[in-house]
A and B are shown apart, each in its own frame.
Chain A
Amino acid sequence: MNTERKQAQLLPSDAEHDGPLFFVIAIIVFLASLAAIVALLAVQNVNHWKSALQSEMTVQIISGDPAQTQAAASLLLSISGVKAVRVASREEAKSLLEPWLGADNIPDDLPIPLLVHIRLSEKDPASSENVSEALKNAGIEASIDDHQRWAGDLARSSGIIQILSITVLALLVSASIAVTGFATRSGLAARKDLVNVLHLVGARDQVIARLFGRRFVLLGLKAGASGAGLAAISIIILMLGGVGDASFMGLSIQPGLGSFLLLLPVPVITAMVGGWTAHRSVLNSLRRQV
C-alpha cells in the first residue's frame, strides 16, 4: 500500500543500541520472573503447610505400652474438636528412630514411645491444653506436639524468602528503569538531529516523548516476552526434571499453574515500565532545552 510506504517511522529503530538493551532487559526480566515465582511459592507453601500443621497434633505415649496407647486413642477421640485419631504402629515409631540407632540395632524389647496422630476438626479444634488435661486425668503420661514451633519456623523462613525475593524484584525493576532511562538519553543524543528538527518545527514535547516511549514499549514487549518465556522454560525443566518435590530452605518447590499465570502479564508490565521511563526521561531532557 502506497500510504503505508510513505508513513515511515519518524524515529527509526536503532539496532546498534536496541540489540544490547534488548539482551539486558530480557535477562533482568528473566531474573525478576524467577524472583516473583519464588515469592509466590513461598506464600503458597506456607499457607499449605500452616493449614496442614494446624489441623494436626501428635501425642507421644511415653510408656510405649500398646494397651495404654489404645486406651488413650479412644479417650482422645471422645474429646470435642477431635475428628479422627490414628495409632502409629511400633514399626512406624521404630522407623523414626532408625536414622539415629540404625535399622538392626533396636532390640525388640526396647520401650519405644508410641505415637497417636490426631486430626482436628476444622471448626473449634481442640487445643493442646484440652488434650493434655484429658490425658492427665486418665493417668496417661504423654507429651503433646501441636506443631506450633514448627509452624512458626516455617512461617518465619517463608517470610524471609518472601522479603528477599521482593527485595530482589524491586532491585531488578529499578535496574531496568535505570538502564532504560540511560538508553533513552543515549538514544536522544544519538538522534539529536531529529529531535532538534521536530522541536523547531513546533512538535510539542509530548509528541517527541511519545516517539521514544513507543519504541521502548515495543522493545519492552519483546524483551519481556523473551525473559518471561525463558523463565517458563526453566519452570518446565524443573518440573520435568522431577525437582517438583525438592525442598529449598524448608519449602517444597512445586511450581504449578500459578507460576505460569504469574508470567503472563510480565511482557505487558515490562513494556509499560519501558515506555513510561523513556517518555519521562525524554520530557526531562527536553525541559532542559529552550
Chain B
Amino acid sequence: MSHIGMQYDNGPEVLTDINLQLEPGSFQFLTGPSGAGKTTLLKLIYLALQPSRGVVQLFGREPALCDRDEMAHLRRKIGVVFQGFGLLDHLSVFENVAVPLRVTGRQHHEYEDDVQDLLRWVGLGSVLDASPATLSGGEKQRVAIARAVVAKPELLIADEPTGNVDPEMGRRLMRLFSELNRLGSTVLIASHDLALVRSIAADIYTIEDGKLSFKPAKSARRAK
C-alpha cells in the first residue's frame, strides 16, 4: 500500500502517508501504542475500510477499482483473527470454523474432515459441538485462528491475538502462527505486547503518530 491516509468521518487523520509492502511468505509484526491505528491499518488491508486517500493493492489488484463480487473474492484470500474474535455464539465451534468454507458454497461433507482435523490440531477436538460462548479466552482465540486459516489464506492477519490469554498460551499461539507461516501464508500480526513481539524473529513495523517505521528482523532470519 502506498501513501495511505485514513480518517474516520471528519475526525483527525489516524494514519498519514503510510507506505507498506508485505513480501509474500514473510512474517511481520505491527506494533505501536494503544490507539495508534494498528487496527485501522489492518482493516484497510483486510478490506473492512476504504482509505481516505492513497492506494491499496492486494494480490496485484486494486480493491478501489473492484466490484463487490471481486472484493469478496479478494477477502477470501485473507484470513483474519479479529480483535475480540468475532465468533458467532449461535453456531457451534465446528460451524464457526466452517463459515468461510460454507459461504463459498462448499458442502458439509467436503470439508467436515478438514475442519475436524484443524480443530484437533489447535487442541479443540473435544469441544467441536460447544458454543463459543462456553469457552475460555484462549480457546476462543484458537477457534478464531482456526477460522482464519481454514480456507488456506495467502495472507493471515491477526489483531492482538494474544490480548486475552496468559503468556504461556500466547507463546503457543505464536508457534502456531510461525507454523502457518512455514506452510506458506504471509503473516501480519498486530500487538502492543513488546515482549511477545521480541520472542519471534520477524520484521517489525511500528506505528506512531500516524506514521509507520520499519525495523527488519534482527540477525537470524527464519531459515526458509
Interface positions of A (Cβ within 8 A of B): 3, 5-8, 10, 12, 193-194, 196-205, 207, 286-287, 290
Whether the Cβ atoms of A200 and B68 lie closer than 8 Å is no
Whether the Cβ atoms of A200 and B91 lie closer than 8 Å is no
- Stretch of B70-78, B133-141, B161-169, B179-187 with 4 or more beta carbons under 8 angstroms from chain A: B70-78
Distance in angstroms from B106 CB to nearest chain A CB is 12
Whether the Cβ atoms of B72 and A6 lie closer than 8 Å is no
Whether the Cβ atoms of B88 and A200 lie closer than 8 Å is no
Within 8 A of A (CB), among B90-137: 90-92, 94-95, 99-100, 102-105, 108-109, 112, 129
Question: Within the complex, which residue of B72, B82, B90, B91 is in contact with A204, where a contact is CB–CB below 8 Å?
Answer: B72
Return chain B residues, CB-CB under 8 Å to A12: 90
Question: Within the complex, which residue of B72, B76, B108 is in contact with A7, where a contact is CB–CB below 8 Å?
Answer: B108
29 contacts between A and B (CB under 8 A): A3-B108, A3-B112, A5-B129, A6-B95, A6-B129, A8-B90, A10-B91, A12-B90, A193-B86, A194-B88, A196-B86, A197-B86, A197-B99, A199-B75, A200-B46, A200-B48, A200-B82, A201-B75, A201-B99, A202-B73, A202-B74, A202-B100, A202-B104, A202-B151, A203-B104, A204-B72, A204-B103, A290-B47, A290-B49
Whether the Cβ atoms of A193 and B92 lie closer than 8 Å is no
Closest to B70 in A: A204
Return chain B residues, CB-CB under 8 Å to A198: 99, 103
Return chain A residues, CB-CB under 8 Å to B50: 290
Complex Cα distance, B52 from A290, in Å, reads: 12
Q: Quick one: which of B76, B88, B105 has the most chain A CB within 10 A?
A: B88
A290 and B69 contact, Cβ closer than 8 Å, known pairs A3-B109, A202-B104, A207-B103: no
Distance in angstroms from B141 CB to nearest chain A CB is 16
Return chain B residues, CB-CB under 8 Å to A207: 103, 105
Q: Which 6 A-B pairs have the closest CB atoms?
A: A202-B76, A203-B103, A202-B75, A201-B100, A204-B72, A12-B90
Closest to B87 in A: A197
Interface positions of B (Cβ within 8 A of A): 46-50, 68-69, 72-76, 80, 82, 86, 88, 90-92, 94-95, 99-100, 102-105, 108-109, 112, 129, 147, 151
Return chain B residues, CB-CB under 8 Å to A290: 47-50
A8 and B76 contact, Cβ closer than 8 Å, known pairs A198-B103, A201-B103: no
Distance in angstroms from B39 CB to nearest chain A CB is 13
Complex Cα distance, B76 from A8, in Å, reads: 22
Whether the Cβ atoms of B90 and A203 lie closer than 8 Å is no
Complex Cα distance, B102 from A201, in Å, reads: 10
Return chain B residues, CB-CB under 8 Å to A3: 108-109, 112
Complex Cα distance, B142 from A100, in Å, reads: 94
Complex Cα distance, B90 from A10, in Å, reads: 8
Return chain B residues, CB-CB under 8 Å to A8: 90-92, 95
Distance in angstroms from B194 CB to nearest chain A CB is 28
Q: Quick one: which of A10, A197, A207, A286 has the most chain B CB within 10 A?
A: A197
Return chain B residues, CB-CB under 8 Å to A286: 68
Complex Cα distance, B105 from A111, in Å, reads: 90
Return chain B residues, CB-CB under 8 Å to A6: 92, 94-95, 108, 112, 129
Distance in angstroms from A260 CB to nearest chain B CB is 41
Question: Within the complex, which residue of A10, A194, A199, A200 is in contact with B102, where a contact is CB–CB below 8 Å?
Answer: A10
Distance in angstroms from A207 CB to nearest chain B CB is 5
Q: Quick one: which of A5, A12, A198, A201 has the most chain B CB within 10 A?
A: A201
Whether the Cβ atoms of A204 and B68 lie closer than 8 Å is yes
Return chain A residues, CB-CB under 8 Å to B92: 6, 8
Whether the Cβ atoms of B103 and A202 lie closer than 8 Å is yes
Whether the Cβ atoms of A200 and B80 lie closer than 8 Å is yes
Return chain B residues, CB-CB under 8 Å to A287: 68
Closest to B102 in A: A10
A197 and B88 contact, Cβ closer than 8 Å, known pairs A6-B95, A202-B103: yes
